[in-house]
Each structure stands twice: as C-alpha cells, then as structure tokens.
Amino acid sequence: MIAGVDRRRARLLRFALGLPEAWEDFPWGERVAKVGAKVFLFLGSDDFSPPSMTVKLVESHPAAMAAPGSASTGYGLGRAGWVTIPVSGPPIGVLEDWVEESYRLVAPKRLVRTLDG
C-alpha cells in the first residue's frame, strides 16, 4: 500500500509542477509546490504518515471535507479554505482537480489565463 501511496504523491507533485511557473520548495522541511512566492500544494515531509496533501479550495471545499479522513487545516489555514486530504483517499483525478483549483486561487491572474487559453 505504501508504494501505491508514494506513486500517487509523486504523480500529484508532477501534476502540480506542470502548471505554469510552478516550482518545488522545501520550507519547514516539507515538500510544497509554489507559484511565485505562494504555496498552492503542501505534501508534507517524505516520512509524513499518513501521506496527505493540503490545498486551498472554495468551490470544491464541501466535497473535499466530505472525503474520509479529510480535515480543516490547522495553524489558522482552515479559516482561509485550506483542507488536508489523505493521498490514499479520493480518485487521483479528483485530487489533481483540487490541486488545480488551489493553483487557480493562488496564482496570478495572467497565469490562470494561460490555463484557460
């Protein structure tokens, strides 16, 4: 099971880094995807258990919160729409959709337009 979760986590990172001007960083010892200086995807540290992702959601927030094991993110981020979701939970396509939604909420409008263009 761990190998499958690791593959899903790696796929989510590849998807995130494929978005316009996205890049990987390691603040606080955690793996994140950023656009500019803003984080849009937290993947935690490589040994974080259970593996999860944290994204900012508005439209999909209720659906993400309904996923088994999901929770409002701590450190006050939950109030801003951030949700922590087990990587092993929803289908990978749904997780990728949520990563893209988070990107769209954080990225500059000019980059979001490139996704729509």
Dump pLDDT digits (tens) for 19-62. 999 999 999 888 999 999 999 999 987 776 678 999 999 999 99
pLDDT confidence of residue 61 = 94
All structural domains of the chain, each given as residue ranges with its CATH number in brackets, are: 2-116 (3.90.1150.30)
Summarize the confidence of residues 91-107 as an average pLDDT: 97
* Rounded distance between C-alpha atoms, residue 101 and residue 77, angstroms: 16
Answer yes or no: pTM beyond 0.85. yes
pLDDT confidence of residue 33 = 97
Tell which residue, 77, 79, 76, 57, has the closest CA to residue 66.
57
What strands, in cross-sheet order, belong to the sheet with 22-25?
Answer: 22-25, 31-35, 38-44, 52-56, 82-86, 71-72
Q: pLDDT digits over 73-84, tens only?
A: 777 666 778 999
